[in-house]
Amino acid sequence: MILSIIAALDEEGGIGFKNQIPWHLPVDLGRFKKLTMGHHLILGRKTYQSIGKPLPGRRMIVLSRNPEYKLTGSRLAGSLQDALQIARDAGDSEVFVIGGAEIYQLALPIADRMYLSHVHTTSKADVYFPAYDADNWLKICEQEFPADQANPIGHTFRHLIRKISP
């Protein structure tokens, strides 16, 4: 099973402010939907609360330290390893970590792929994507998306895969 991270971050690595995404980019949201449709999504409780409901066509696994946390239409897991096992047991070929920062930090050392949208702005942020060593990743795709009427901020989409050590 492939473990992928998917995130949108600004030029300083900001990914959120007051539990919300600081921008609205329909083209990026469409790409997120296309990539994740039919797969398991792993996310933290705060990210789940910011979304507010399960996303259609995907199975959400919420990480929480509170085993009594109540969910409707999603699964609860106490650790990243437990969440990965749920997806593996379901036969998923690729599982996506969708945030927040703590969950990205847990997944980064073992992730196989990253789908990153680098938003060409600096936002007011209180949550940041964790630092990673770019030397460990191979860029296999890069696409530029200029600002337009529907997407007020330009961004660059990058698909990275982990380099395999010889």
Q: Domain coordinates of the chain in residue numbers? A: 2-137
Write out the H or E segment, with its range, that includes residue 34: helix 26-36
How many CA atoms are closer than 13 Å to the CA of 115, on its beta-carbon side?
19
Domain 2-137 has CATH 3.40.430.10: yes
Which pLDDT does position 164 carry in this prediction? 79
Total-model pTM: 0.95
Tens of pLDDT along the chain (166 residues)? 999 999 999 999 999 999 999 999 999 999 999 999 999 999 999 999 999 999 999 999 999 999 889 898 999 999 999 999 999 999 999 999 999 999 999 999 999 999 999 999 999 999 999 999 999 999 999 999 999 999 999 999 999 999 975 4
- The H-or-E segment that residue 116 falls in is strand 113-119
Residue 166 confidence (pLDDT): 41
